[in-house]
Amino acid sequence: MKSQILKALREANSYVSGQELCEQFQVSRTAVWKAVHQLNEEGYIIEAVRNKGYRIVESPDVLSVKEIESLISTKWAGSEIQYYDETDSTNTRAKTWAENGAIHGALVVADMQSAGKGRRGRSWESPKGTNIYLSIILRPQMQPMQAPMLTLVMAHSIAKTLRDVPEINVKIKWPNDIVLHKKKVCGILTEMSAEIDYINYVVIGVGINVNGDQVPEELEKSATTLSIEEKKKFKRSELIAAILKQFETDYELFCETKDLSEFQKTYNQILVNQDREVRVLEPGNEYNGYALGINETGELLVRREDGRIEKVFAGEVSVRGIYGYV
C-alpha cells in the first residue's frame, strides 16, 4: 500500500486528496494517513495541506524494492525484484535465481557486495550506501554467439540515460565501460548459461559508482564517481528505474534485428575511443591503431599503421588509449 501511495503521489507530481487515495486503494482515511506518516518517518517529505491533500516534496536516496517499484514504469524489466542490503554478488544471486526459474526481466539489486565481481576474474569495489549494483536476468531467443552484443546494448542504455536525465556527459569506452572525464564510473559484467545453440539465460551485471566521495587510492587515476565529478548526489532508485526503462526499449529494438545497426550511430557518437589512437592488447598480438568505431555486430574497427582494418572482437582483447586507460 505504501509503495502504491508513493507511486500515486509521484505520478501526480502535485496535490492528491486523501479522499482520492482512499477510493483508489479502497482503504480508510486513517490508513492513508498512517502510510504517509510512515513514509515521512523513512525520510520522505510529504506535506499535507487542508483542502488540497498530500504532495511529495522530497525523497531520500533509499534503495529498496518498494522504492524501485514506485518509480518503475516498464513492461517486463524489473517486473520481479530481489533486494539485498548485503550480498556476495548480485550476478551470483541472479544466476541462482535464474537456475530456479526466474522470469525474463527479473532484477537483483544490492546496497553492498562482499564479493563483487569484475571482468576477467577481477574484483569490483562494492562499498555500502553509495553505489548501484544490479543484475538483470534475460532469456533471449538468439544464438549464444550473439549474446555479447547485449552488453553493448546495456552500455548504450546506461550512457543514454545518464546523458538524458541528469545530463551527465558520460562516454563509452569500448566495449562496455562508461567513463566520465576519462575515468571509469561504470562497469558491466555479462554471464551466460547456454548450450551450443541455445541460451538458457543471460545475466547482465551493472556496477555504477554514484555517490561516493572518494575511490580507493590505487584506482584514483582510472576511476571516479558521478558525485565527485558532478559535485552533487543522486537518487539511486531513480537512476535504476530510468536505466531499466531505457534498457527495455533498447532490448526490444535490438531483438528486431539481433544486431547493433540501430545503435551503431549513437554508440559511435559517444565512444571515447572514436578517432583516437589505441593500443590493442590481444593475447600474443599487440599493436597500435586508429579506432574507427564499432560495426553492426559490435566489433571495434581499428586501422593499423599499414592501412589494414582489423575487426577487434570484445572477448579476450582490451583496448587502451596509447597514453593510459582512455
Distance CA(244)–CA(132), nearest Å, equals 13
Is 151 among the residues that bind ligand BTN (CB under 6 A)? no
Among 77, 189, 272, 300, which residue interacts with ligand BTN (rule: CB under 6 A)? 189
Q: Of 189 and 240, which CB lies nearer to ligand BTN in the complex structure?
A: 189
Q: Which residue is nearest to ligand BTN (CB)?
A: 187
Q: Of 16 and 208, which CB lies nearer to ligand BTN in the complex structure?
A: 208
Is 90 among the residues that bind ligand BTN (CB under 6 A)? yes
Query: Would you give the distance in Å from CA 306 to the centre of its chain?
Result: 39
Q: Of 134 and 270, which CB lies nearer to ligand BTN in the complex structure?
A: 134
What is the closest distance, in whole angstroms, from the C-beta atom of residue 194 to ligand BTN in the complex?
A: 19
Is 212 among the residues that bind ligand BTN (CB under 6 A)? no
Task: Please name every residue paired with 310 in a beta bridge, in sequence order, or none if there are none.
Answer: 302
Of 76, 285, 99, 91, the C-alpha closest to 188 is 91
Q: How many residues bind ligand BTN (CB under 6 A)?
A: 20
Q: Of 125 and 262, which CB lies nearer to ligand BTN in the complex structure?
A: 125
Is 187 among the residues that bind ligand BTN (CB under 6 A)? yes
**How distant, in Å, are the alpha carbons of 85, 86, 293, 320 from that of 112?**
6, 5, 35, 29
Q: What letters, b where the CB count within 10 A reaches 16 and e where it falls short, cover 208-231?
A: bbbbbeebeeeeeeebbbbbbbbe
Please check whether residue 77 is in contact with residue 250, taking contact to mean a CB–CB distance below 8 angstroms. no
Query: In the 8-state DSSP scheme, what is residue 219?
Result: G
Is 298 among the residues that bind ligand BTN (CB under 6 A)? no
What is the closest distance, in whole angstroms, from the C-beta atom of residue 185 to ligand BTN in the complex?
A: 11
Is 119 among the residues that bind ligand BTN (CB under 6 A)? yes
